A and B are shown apart, each in its own frame.
Chain A
Amino acid sequence: MPSELDEHHQRLYSASARMMWEQGPPAWRGDRWPTARRDAWRDLEAALSASPPAPVADVPADPARYLVSGRAPDARAVPLAAAVGTWEARFDADPVPPEPGTGVPAEGAVAIAAVWQTLICDLLDELAQRLAPGRPPCVITGDSAELADEIRALGGALRTAAEGAAAPSPAAAPAPAGDGGDREPESPVTGEGYARLRAAALAAARAMPTRAEAERAGDFTVRAAACAAAEDLSRVAEGGTAPQWRERRAGIDPSRHLVQGYRWSGGAARPTSFGQAAAGLRADRAGPSARPLDPADAAAWRTAAAEGTSVLLSPTAALIAAELLAELAARLTPGTRSGTVPLTGLAVHDFVKGRFRRAFIVA
């Protein structure tokens, strides 16, 4: 049973990490903020890193920290940051993204319908949102099996097309290293550690303007949502009543709904259930599919490029997309349990919103 101190720590960790998540990097890592605020946030980042939340009990490798969809060759669990490092290394070694029509020799490519770009980006935003630092423990209880299957099918189509376009170079695909998360030692929260985190959290929250102040001053170096999260954090740290976590919209239950997408009906935003998401994905995925392109086949490239109805991915990028989709599908499998997401979850967000986005070549 978690102690009272553990519970306090988990609440404080969530509220602190959520403030940083709402602001989003790299504000506190750059030089656009007043020095005092920047330093307070860097201190908080260090305190959060030094005092991670307890992993979920009775699960060999907590999905809040480890890849769910695969393991290292030695069967050890792969930390998320290591998985991201591997994907980045593969992109770095990716020889030539498609360069149609220039007479420059190109590797093959995968052409996808433009709507697939939207689907893939939305689904991977869901993955990033599920790995938002501070997100509290969650068990998937909703009827998610069908959605997981649909996501796997989308990834499978990408994989098939990528393998038809070109064989991935083995040298370009280093295996991720595991770190033995299966035997992760418990690192109990101490009163001293909690006090350090609390002091850092209060200093960082107080260094933020209130939302009203930011709006009055037209200060867009801070996000309004981060100002509001700072106010929540102050109350949590001072033992008051405030939520440790807020979803993007009221009513979203991460065990049963998408956390990124929602729908409007009658002017009100409503959560999207896993079943609704599966039906939408099935409908959008119908029609043109992913197909490999031969670099020598100018006619096929020209068709793909005509009026921008297609988007091109290198075979490596298509395989990485397939792996990320498989990871999301694994996380949405019924019964999946995960603990509080530590700050390291940001690595997935940064990759999905950054390097991965650049892989789409709009023809």
Chain B
Amino acid sequence: MPSSSPERGTERPLEVLFVADLSGRSKGMGGVPVVSGEITRAMAEQPGVNVSLLTVGDTEDHGQARILRIPPTGDWEAVRLRDIAENGTPADVPGMPDPDTWRPDWIYGHSRYSGPAAMNLRRRWYPEANLGHYVHMPIERYAEIQGRPPEDIARLVAFEREVVAEAQHVVGIGPLLTSVGRDLAAGSDPVPALHEAIPGHPRGGEALTPAAPGGRPLHILFTGRRDDIKGYEDLLAALRELNERGVDFRLRVRGFPEDAIAAESPSAAAAIGAEGMTEHLPYTTRQAELDADDAWADMKVGPSKAEGYGVTQADGLWRGLPTLVNAESGIAMFMSDPHRVPADIGSAFIVADLGLTGADRAGAWSAAIARVAADHGRHAELAARMREVLSDYSWQHTASAQLESMRRFELGSRGHTIQGPGGVLLGEDGRRLPTAREMRASRAMGPGALAADYPAGPRPPAPGTGAADSAASGRGPAPGQAARRKL
């Protein structure tokens, strides 16, 4: 049985139930299932935690997580999940333990897809559990870009607002979505604790050290589809201008539907004003093809009009590719945080396109690509440093930082926590927050003990200095090194 005792964490594993209609990369259904799968897997590897995943139908292996499958019907997974959460019992889920023998301490759902289901499961099955909620999308902003009417936007927002009003812990994927979470929570009483998570490395691959193009054209990689939010047409307009000014480049577009490619290539050539400068390749999940794209590229571009986080862009940076990101994105806000990313890196890769439209926006992207083309060597060096920074942000770090935030909550802390390098938690002023272990120790020693050690809180390590591991070691065993206490 879960207990609210602050000491429980040291006595028996924390039971965490993730609720996701779809989870994992193999679902091919976009970013939310991917993040769900990675966080579930990484959380299950944390010491002192038992993880269960409640999902609909078959899914891929989730490491050490126990998978509880709701038998699918012909309906949408999200609809099926919601139906079980609103009308079902644990007996409807094969393998689900009886509530008398097992109960979760925490239940997490993901955005409007599974957040309402997590809320109803807590209400109906496990009322003593804490409710957590992941914010994955800038709901209002996307709806606004799509031109939805205000009442429609309000309806979409209301789905998540209701969940957040009951939640104890709201996890935003990156700074922008944490801010969306804060807006959703406005007016809730009590206000849930907010945690900013940074998504980890989305896939494998070695670091790249892109060479200067030298005498050949600059290779530019765009991954995505002809979706207005992704900014593909702005990119073509930007490249048209560069072509008119004599910049020699090749654009590779990865991810268009196969049947559209034959028509898209001449269309893009007409838009740019030259043939043979673009190459459209079909959507793929094959790692070898994605690796070959990265190896081909001198730089990557993500001209989206808005991105909740920007996993595709972060992926390019993780590989060591100079990658331009749009200003209205979680990754750009992350790179703008001087406590986590050195300022010269952010300013080189964030395109100043905030609020720009039409030819103005294309012009900002032309200018940014031209800057990389003019000094590729410097941008490759900055990208290598950014990769160093990101090496302190793995999925393991994502999970360990969130777990630390949950444990702090259980000790009564309601503050806003931010994932820093190596999974440490930072406060909004960038200073390292005491860990749950430090908080417990300080309580055992009496009031003021922690304050004596850290009058203004411990300082965070300087970003990009590789100091994160030593910082993390100050709080006890680093993730993955601790002796497993799992049952």
Contacts and interface: CB of A to CB of B under 8 A. Distances in A.
Interface of A: 23-27, 30, 32, 91-97, 100-104, 113-115, 117-119, 121-122, 215, 218, 220-225, 248, 260-264, 267, 269, 284, 287-288, 298-299, 301, 305-309, 311, 350, 353-355, 357-362
Given A114-B259, A357-B228, A101 B360 contact: no
B260 A95 contact: no
Interface stretch (B118-126, B261-269, B379-387): B261-269
A264 B225 CA distance: 25
24 contacts: A24-B358, A27-B359, A30-B360, A32-B360, A91-B147, A92-B147, A96-B152, A102-B78, A102-B112, A103-B82, A103-B113, A114-B256, A114-B259, A114-B260, A118-B260, A119-B263, A121-B267, A220-B370, A224-B241, A261-B266, A308-B283, A358-B145, A360-B226, A362-B227
Interface residues of B, number: 56
B366 interface: yes
A221 B77 contact: no
Nearest to A264: B275
A118 B264 CA distance: 6
Given A30-B360, A224-B241, A298 B267 contact: no
A7 B76 CA distance: 65
B148 A97 contact: yes
A96 B148 contact: yes
Interface in B147-161: 147-149, 152, 156, 159
B244 A218 contact: no
A263 B283 CA distance: 26
B241 A220 contact: yes
B366 A309 contact: no
B146 interface: yes
B295 interface: no
Interface in B15-42: 21, 28-29
Nearest to A261: B270
Contacts of B267: 118, 121-122, 261
B273 A248 contact: yes
B245 A299 contact: no
Contacts of B269: 264
B78 A103 contact: yes
B152 A26 contact: no
Contacts, number: 148
Contacts of B366: 220
A101 B76 contact: yes
B129 to A, nearest CB: 22
B291 interface: no
B377 to A, nearest CB: 18
B263 A24 contact: no
A95 B152 contact: yes
| Interface majority SS (helix, strand, loop, mixed), chain B | helix
Nearest to B156: A104
Given A95-B149, A101-B78, A307-B283, A218 B370 contact: yes
B142 to A, nearest CB: 10
Contacts of B146: 97, 358, 361
Contacts of A306: 28
| Interface majority SS (helix, strand, loop, mixed), chain A | mixed
A103 B22 CA distance: 13
A113 B159 contact: no
A23 B359 contact: yes
A260 B270 contact: yes
Contacts of B82: 103
B363 interface: yes
A219 B358 CA distance: 17
B333 to A, nearest CB: 23
B241 A26 contact: no
B228 A360 contact: yes
B74 interface: yes
Q: What 7 A-B pairs are tightest by C-beta distance, nearest first?
A: A24-B359, A114-B257, A114-B260, A220-B367, A264-B275, A362-B227, A220-B363
A225 B244 contact: yes
B225 A221 contact: no
B260 A298 contact: no
A288 B259 contact: yes
A104 B154 CA distance: 13
B364 interface: yes
Contacts of A358: 145-147, 228
Contacts of B227: 360, 362
Contacts of A119: 263
A76 to B, nearest CB: 29
Nearest to A349: B358
B76 A103 contact: yes
Given A23-B359, A119-B263, A284-B263, 4 more contacts: A113-B259, A115-B260, A220-B367, A222-B363
A289 B259 CA distance: 12
Q: Which of B76, B244, B367 has the most CB of A within 10 A?
A: B76
Given A92-B149, A95-B149, A113-B259, A100 B76 contact: yes
